[in-house]
Structure 1
């Protein structure tokens, strides 16, 4: 009998009150604060400052760091920060560094006024995006390395709860502060105070970092020297500049093809999606060319690239063999049903006759608490019955709850009915996410924790978000009732893959202490 199956319900729930859970809860809170500060909160600030909608959309690129954090995750795995690492250890030093970086970036945003210094605001937002993504990389690595495998599901639940709390503060909290101080008219000072308050709230993460211990996991692997890390950092900077330059340059070049695509597909949204997707992948291709040139010029020696980027991928395929591609398939498809439905959810609520106030209160208030409850329930079930069983339950429930929205679409506007659907959807989503994060954590090797988990978490949302770009077109063509049935059907491959992998590749237990 495995260690996971030996816990009673009493022992299972007692784990929720452990110190490690409290630590991850606070670190998750620290990670969640910046999220909306470069998304919806920033967008509203820019709108009030009179910035054009197209420019606001352009600044959403500040969050690209979240999608491509695996590119610099090897720095976190390989590099020991001078002085700080000797004082705090490798993981805690990166934690403190990223948290201070987040605070400074938020502070610079607070001291800027986009109405007069848009580029200062934009620069600080980009800096915040990279700082926040770096913090995410380190927290994920710390969480995985600081506890045994059987605890990862509960720690995942705590991380989700903390992250959601931080998101709520950075979103609704910042808006309430700005509204209270500035009222209906635009006030740069009210926004500055709101952002400075968020920077102050980040001290919860800093104090947590200073009070915890370095993970006791014995990494037992070779790391780069200081000079090798500097060359790796230089190579990363060159690649980042090449990506940004090619992305900006390709914009007007590819936009010239929009009229032809619009005429061919007769769909403006699809034409725009194809142009932007091509722009992204061409920019990535440019980076690969630059990497080859950088290696050939010996700016970054080939063995460093091998150790930092190739070895983590090779390690994964060597450990899981023929099942590796199936695991990657599950990672790419597990959240497909939820994400495709979620993109169109608010639009559906409005079209179904619900007011903005109803949407906000039901989706944010009930949705938040249902997600938190589902997260801790998913963690408890994973410990009590195993991660695979909970993964399977989460995949089935996530698909079935989408069918509830088909029933909502066929009914008259009824806030009780919508609340029930949203609560069930978020409860199942929280349960599935907690189990899934625990599963991803179990797949990593402690030799490449940050890099491998960053790849998994990026893959987890990349394919679903690409497919979600068609959700508007699908809902128009099919109608909401049929659309929600289709999104439920999108969850079937994940169910099948969980059933196969449960028998093919059992989760191995990794003891940290």
Structure 2
């Protein structure tokens, strides 16, 4: 492909002046915020309450629901909620219902003490995770439905706004949570988090429901199944076939079975190293010697600013040159940046190194995430966008949501190695971060192996 086919930098920047991208940003905030509620906030609270690394890591197993939300995603594509659907539409009605559930659970958590009633806290956190995972299905489908097949060139911009929104919803409230946790306590923090959910509900009511051909495409699928199964189009069997079977069958037909399975494996492997690192990051910062206020300042506030800037830069590069180079460069940089944490573990609580690590980590993560989200969107059909994207995103999140629950156990297991304590430049945390770097290597090899299919997808974007 000739360089002349690339958009100019002016065209690239002008492409961000689209109101739909603001809506994607707002709902991105709603997707990121629950990860703060039951993720870093809860990890900080549990650490302050005296729980072990293993216990904190296993508490994170509630995130497993994000890895299986594809199982009920077909219902989000097809079931119309009474009253809410008529007022808000298919996507926003589900988003609003889930946010109300999260608001109620957050208020209950604000009245608990995990050091005395960990079981109740876990149940409430699990309910938030379940509602959040369901909300994500509708939010991702909202973003995909907002741009037609002929606008696939706008997917990197939409991915950028989604990522910026996600980190805004995760980091800015997290900053206020950590700098105030020592003064008002974690219970007070969660009352503040409940107020933020109220703001997210306002966002949901403000944005406009996207127009899409979803109903028409699903009706066509029903007609095909009715002829194939020799049933009337109103048959329950037809409805279940189109709702449950067709989203997955269409994905494999479009890509071919061999390529589809390879793509699914790549999606699973790409961010697994980052997932293990992320689950233990707050515990690591505290054990190295940083307090809540420092964590809030560097990890949340500065981390958010770095993510916003680097996400915009990363998306502009992906718009200009496509996702193939973004995936490869982002993957390599993401793996290498984990070594900064290994250095940090060896040096100790040095604020300058903490700042440098946060900036490098957010740069590489933002760059890789933009390419990754854009790539997942390219793989998604428009008739069943909620289901197919949920399947891909679930695989992409499997390491972060399920396998990373054992990250605390892994650090404790590494600590038992006598030889590590005899190496002056190595310690359990450093070795753990080196392992997270190695975890990325298989997916990098797969990027090279899949480059022809990636190129095909990129060409489809250019000609759409």
Match of 2:439 in 1: 490
Say if 1:474 and 1:341 are closer, same or farther in 2 by CA, change over 3 A: farther
Question: For the Cα contact (< 8 Å) 1:344–1:471, is it kept in 2?
Answer: no
Match of 2:144 in 1: 144
CA distance in 1, matches of 2:44, 2:285: 21
Tell me whether 127-136 or 446-455 shows the greater mean CA deviation.
127-136
Say if 1:176 and 1:501 are closer, same or farther in 2 by CA, change over 3 A: same
CA distance in 2, matches of 1:483, 1:60: 18
CA distance in 2, matches of 1:454, 1:17: 28
Match of 1:503 in 2: 452
Say if 1:45 and 1:323 are closer, same or farther in 2 by CA, change over 3 A: closer
1:318 to 253, 269, 274: 253
In the TM superposition, what are the counterparts of 1:392-403 in structure 2 within 5 Å? 392-403=328-339
Say if 1:76 and 1:4 are closer, same or farther in 2 by CA, change over 3 A: farther
Please, what TM-score do these two structures have when normalized by structure 2?
0.77
Match of 1:171 in 2: 174
CA distance in 1, matches of 2:176, 2:357: 26
Match of 1:208 in 2: 203
Say if 1:223 and 1:73 are closer, same or farther in 2 by CA, change over 3 A: farther
Question: For the Cα contact (< 8 Å) 1:35–1:170, is it kept in 2?
Answer: no
Q: Per-residue deviation at 1:375?
A: 1.9
Say if 1:361 and 1:137 are closer, same or farther in 2 by CA, change over 3 A: same
CA distance in 1, matches of 2:364, 2:16: 19
Match of 1:14 in 2: 14
Say if 1:104 and 1:404 are closer, same or farther in 2 by CA, change over 3 A: closer
Match of 1:277 in 2: none
CA distance in 2, matches of 1:55, 1:485: 23
2:164 to 161, 165, 170: 161
SS in structure 2 of the partner of residue 446 of structure 1: coil
Tell me whether 420-429 or 168-177 shows the greater mean CA deviation.
168-177
What root-mean-square deviation, in Å, do the aligned CA atoms of Structure 1 and Structure 2 show? Answer: 4.0
2:190 to 188, 195, 218: 195
Say if 1:83 and 1:485 are closer, same or farther in 2 by CA, change over 3 A: closer
Match of 2:218 in 1: 222
CA distance in 1, matches of 2:22, 2:46: 36
CA distance in 2, matches of 1:4, 1:208: 40
CA distance in 2, matches of 1:414, 1:53: 22
User: Which whole-Å deviations, capped at 9, do the CAs of 1:91-129 have from their partners, x for residues lacking one?
Assistant: 222222222333333344446677998877655444322
Say if 1:35 and 1:482 are closer, same or farther in 2 by CA, change over 3 A: closer
Please, what TM-score do these two structures have when normalized by structure 1?
0.71
Gaps of 5+ in 1: 183-189, 225-299
SS in structure 1 of the partner of residue 212 of structure 2: coil
CA distance in 2, matches of 1:57, 1:332: 20
In the TM superposition, what are the counterparts of 1:370-449 in structure 2 within 5 Å? 370-405=306-341, 414-449=350-385
User: Which whole-Å deviations, capped at 9, do the CAs of 1:238-258 have from their partners, x for residues lacking one?
Assistant: xxxxxxxxxxxxxxxxxxxxx
The answer to whether the aligner puts 1:38 opposite 2:41 as a matched pair is no
CA distance in 1, matches of 2:280, 2:38: 21
Tell me whether 477-486 or 197-206 shows the greater mean CA deviation.
477-486
In the TM superposition, what are the counterparts of 1:96-495 in structure 2 within 5 Å? 96-110=96-110, 123-147=123-147, 148-176=151-179, 179-181=182-184, 191=187, 194-219=189-214, 220-222=216-218, 305-321=240-256, 322-343=258-279, 354-356=289-291, 361-405=297-341, 414-463=350-399, 466=403, 469=407, 471-472=410-411, 473=413, 479=426, 484-495=433-444
CA distance in 1, matches of 2:236, 2:3: 44
Question: For the Cα contact (< 8 Å) 2:113–2:121, is it kept in 1?
Answer: yes
Q: Per-residue deviation at 1:32?
A: 2.3
Question: For the Cα contact (< 8 Å) 1:387–1:439, is it kept in 2?
Answer: yes
SS in structure 2 of the partner of residue 213 of structure 1: coil
Gaps of 5+ in 2: 221-234, 421-425
Q: How many residues align?
A: 428
Q: Per-residue deviation at 1:324?
A: 1.1
Question: For the Cα contact (< 8 Å) 2:143–2:158, is it kept in 1?
Answer: yes
Question: For the Cα contact (< 8 Å) 1:4–1:150, is it kept in 2?
Answer: no
CA distance in 2, matches of 1:408, 1:47: 20
Say if 1:404 and 1:109 are closer, same or farther in 2 by CA, change over 3 A: closer
User: Which whole-Å deviations, capped at 9, do the CAs of 1:6-40 have from their partners, x for residues lacking one?
Assistant: 42222223334432222222111122222232344
SS in structure 2 of the partner of residue 507 of structure 1: helix
Match of 2:83 in 1: 83
CA distance in 2, matches of 1:483, 1:65: 26
Tell me whether 326-335 or 24-33 shows the greater mean CA deviation.
24-33
Say if 1:17 and 1:168 are closer, same or farther in 2 by CA, change over 3 A: same
Question: For the Cα contact (< 8 Å) 2:276–2:436, is it kept in 1?
Answer: yes
